[in-house]
């Protein structure tokens, strides 16, 4: 077994959709980024890549590459899972903490778990997502953006 940790954060931006774990969440602002800026998918992607010792999201999907402009971050995650599989690993489970003052994500967590579980090949039972606030402290507390931290457990495909 191998464990990886991922982190991502994006600031809010007007005129963009808010996508979290592949789910469009109603909000007045979206997140700024080269892709769809899905902080959950990005943190999980880094956790998977890190557990497999395969670098990070920026190495595989650089923001300097126009191919990834407005990309669906679940597609990036799917590719990271394929890279891990090619290295001999499959995802066992992931655990994510999403930190935002707004919007409240609780009602969207079942759909997020479903989408991530499908992408990871674990089903929703292999995905945990918790929503937390920053209790009004710092840039997140001021409502400037959202952050996510993820841990991924990979299991060897071999004997």
Output the tens digit of pLDDT for each of the chain's 159 residues: 999 999 999 999 999 999 999 999 999 999 999 889 999 999 999 999 999 999 999 999 888 888 888 889 999 999 999 999 999 999 999 999 999 999 999 999 999 999 999 999 999 999 999 999 999 999 999 999 999 999 999 999 876
CA gap 156, 57 in Å, rounded: 21
For 19-23, which contacts have Cβ atoms below 8 Å and span 24 or more sequence positions? Answer: 19/73, 20/98, 20/105, 20/108, 20/112, 20/146, 21/96, 21/111, 21/112, 21/113, 21/115, 21/116, 21/129, 22/72, 22/73, 22/74, 22/112, 22/115, 22/116, 22/119, 23/108, 23/111, 23/112, 23/115
User: What is the CATH classification number for the domain harbouring 80?
Assistant: 3.30.1330.50
Domains: count for the chain: 1
Which residue range(s) make up the domain with 88? 2-156
Q: What pLDDT sits at residue 21?
A: 98
């Amino acid at each position: 077994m191998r464990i990886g940790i991922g982190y991502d954060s994006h600031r809010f931006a007007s005129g963009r959709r808010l996508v979290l774990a592949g789910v469009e969440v109603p909000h007045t602002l979206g997140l700024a980024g080269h892709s769809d800026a899905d902080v959950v998918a990005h943190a999980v992607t880094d956790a998977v890549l890190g557990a497999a010792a395969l670098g990070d999201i920026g190495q595989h999907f650089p923001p300097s590459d126009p191919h990834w402009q407005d990309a669906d971050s679940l597609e990036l995650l799917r590719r990271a899972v394929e890279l891990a599989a090619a290295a001999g690993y499959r995802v066992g489970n992931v655990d994510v903490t999403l930190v935002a003052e707004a919007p409240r994500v609780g009602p969207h967590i079942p759909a997020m778990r479903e989408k991530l579980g499908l992408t990871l090949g674990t089903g929703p039972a292999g995905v945990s997502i918790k929503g937390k606030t920053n209790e009004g402290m710092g840039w997140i507390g001021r409502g400037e953006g959202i952050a996510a931290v993820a841990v991924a457990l990979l299991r060897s495909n071999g004997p």
